[in-house]
């Protein structure tokens, strides 16, 4: 089987990046969201990011136009049923993801491969709710998708070898590098990264440092390209909290307890860059610490 058509569920910051890289690599992409506004915003972001690649001479104007012509937006999830591969990249809530796979199932052709871009939720559990756990995998892209080279490949307990090999080939065709992870909470990247971010929020909560000193310390002291609070805003604080909850629940260890300050920011709707405010306030010309 060769993958030619790809359906992507969720046109948010990850979904639009995933659509961008698949379309640029020649795949025919159908991009779905429940919100027309999210679809419009997602397509606008893809156009802007492709333009940037043209101006940096990474791709030609023809490549950009051909990629855009390969992306078909839709509000109808059932349109994804005839695709060879589905990449679910909706919000990080298990109930939402289960409902999407359940709604999609009656429309799927038998050979379609299902994947989730989840940052942390059990692939085995998501797969077990579908009619094809052997053709279900975690396909975990990094943010921002067009720039980041890694894709984590996560096999559920039932995933078969042909599915794994096919997706490994897809990752290579996208010009990315795969790292294989076992299906345990948050896999590799977020198992290591999120406790570090959560600890940075505790450092702020306990007054050890302020937003700027914590980020400056980790950038200049540990050589990180972004400070942990800046990175949390970039990921989305709701996603960070969801991943910490998965680690806390899944590994039953208090070292993963989400910082109460992270919970408070999410309760306030301060979700980071995507909502205009998180640890930093993005509503002016340059980001400034929110408090
Ligand atoms: N943000 C990151 O850095 C990052 C990195 C890797 C993976 N992920 C994962 O990618 C997924 C998406 O995260 P994001 O950062 O793009 O979130 P986001 O909030 O930017 O986008 C989520 C999108 O899903 C849409 N959506 C919600 N319910 C839907 C449904 N039933 N059907 C169709 N669309 C629906 C929303 O309208 C929204 O546009 C999550 O599973 C997240 O854990 C995120």
pLDDT tens per residue across span 193-245: 999 999 999 999 999 999 999 999 999 999 999 999 999 999 999 999 999 99
DSSP notation for 67-80: HHHTEEEES-GGGG
Query: Do 31 and 157 belong to one domain?
Result: yes
Q: Ligand 1 pocket: which of 12, 21, 39, 107 to mutate (most atoms <8 Å of CB)? A: 12
Query: End of a domain among 128, 162, 181?
Result: 181
pTM for the predicted model, two decimal places: 0.92
The yes-or-no answer on residue 152 being catalytic is: yes
Residue of the nearest CA to atom 10 in ligand 1?
Answer: 89
How many Å apart are CA 235 and CA 144, to the nearest integer? 9
Structural domain range at position 100: 5-181
Which residues are paired to 32 by β-bridges? 9, 74
Residue of the nearest CA to atom 21 in ligand 1?
Answer: 12
Q: What is the CATH number of the domain that holds 258?
A: 1.10.1040.10
**Each residue's pLDDT expressed in tens, for the chain with a length of 291 residues:** 899 999 999 999 999 999 999 999 999 999 999 999 999 999 999 999 999 999 999 999 999 999 999 999 999 999 999 999 999 999 989 999 999 999 999 999 999 999 999 988 999 999 999 999 999 999 999 999 999 999 999 999 999 999 999 999 999 999 999 999 999 999 999 999 999 999 999 999 999 999 999 999 999 999 999 999 999 999 999 999 999 999 999 999 999 999 999 999 999 999 999 999 999 999 999 999 998
How buried is residue 278: exposed, middle or buried, by Cβ count under 10 Å (0-12/13-18/19+)?
A: buried
Query: End of a domain among 161, 181, 201?
Result: 181
- Per the listing, tokens 């990175």 go with 231
How many Å apart are CA 91 and CA 12, to the nearest integer? 8
Q: What is the CATH number of the domain that holds 135?
A: 3.40.50.720
Query: Do 46 and 161 belong to one domain?
Result: yes
How many Å apart are CA 253 and CA 260, to the nearest integer? 16
**Cα 160 from chain centre:** 24
Query: Among residues of the chain, what percentage have pLDDT more than 70?
Result: 100
Radius of gyration of the chain (CA): 19
Query: Do 66 and 85 belong to one domain?
Result: yes
Query: Do 53 and 140 belong to one domain?
Result: yes
The yes-or-no answer on residue 107 being catalytic is: no
Judge if the beta carbon of residue 118 lies within 6 A of ligand 1. Answer: yes
Query: Do 113 and 11 belong to one domain?
Result: yes
Atom of ligand 1 nearest to the CA of 118: 41
149: region left, alpha or beta (phi > 0 left; psi from -120 to 50 alpha): alpha
Query: Do 43 and 149 belong to one domain?
Result: yes
The yes-or-no answer on residue 98 being catalytic is: no
Query: Do 29 and 142 belong to one domain?
Result: yes
* pLDDT reported for residue 120: 87
SS3 call for 151: strand
Judge if the beta carbon of residue 239 lies within 6 A of ligand 1. Answer: yes
Query: Do 84 and 102 belong to one domain?
Result: yes
The yes-or-no answer on residue 140 being catalytic is: yes
pLDDT tens per residue across span 50-69: 999 999 999 999 999 999 99
* pLDDT reported for residue 154: 98
Judge if the beta carbon of residue 7 lies within 6 A of ligand 1. Answer: no
Q: Ligand 1 pocket: which of 7, 9, 10, 92 to mutate (most atoms <8 Å of CB)? A: 10
Which of 119, 120, 122, 198 is an active site residue?
119
């Amino acid at each position: 089987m060769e993958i030619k058509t790809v359906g992507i569920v969720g046109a948010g910051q990850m979904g639009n990046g995933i659509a961008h890289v698949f379309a640029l690599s020649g795949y025919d992409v159908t991009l779905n969201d429940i919100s027309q506004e999210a679809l419009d915003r997602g397509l606008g972001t893809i156009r802007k990011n492709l333009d940037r690649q043209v101006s940096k001479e990474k791709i030609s104007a023809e490549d950009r136009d051909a990629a855009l012509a390969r992306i078909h937006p839709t509000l109808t999830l059932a349109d994804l049923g005839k695709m060879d591969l589905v990449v679910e990249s909706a919000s990080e809530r298990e109930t939402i993801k289960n409902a999407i796979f359940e709604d999609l199932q009656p429309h799927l052709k038998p050979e379609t491969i299902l994947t989730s871009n989840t940052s942390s939720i059990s692939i085995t559990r998501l797969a077990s709710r579908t009619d094809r756990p052997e053709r279900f995998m975690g396909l975990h892209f990094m943010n921002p998708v067009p720039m980041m080279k890694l894709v984590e490949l996560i096999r559920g307990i039932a995933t078969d070898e042909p599915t794994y090999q096919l997706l490994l080939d897809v990752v290579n065709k996208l010009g990315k590098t795969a790292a294989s992870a076992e299906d345990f909470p948050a896999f590799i990247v977020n198992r290591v990264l999120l406790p570090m971010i959560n600890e940075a929020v505790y450092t702020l909560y306990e007054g050890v440092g302020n937003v700027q000193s914590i980020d400056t310390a980790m950038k200049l002291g540990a050589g990180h390209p972004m400070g942990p609070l800046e990175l949390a805003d970039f990921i989305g604080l709701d996603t960070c909290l969801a991943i910490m909850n998965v680690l806390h629940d899944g590994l039953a260890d208090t070292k993963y307890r989400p910082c109460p300050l992270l919970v408070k920011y999410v309760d306030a709707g301060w979700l980071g860059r995507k909502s205009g405010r998180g640890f930093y306030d993005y509503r002016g010309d340059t980001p400034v610490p929110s408090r």
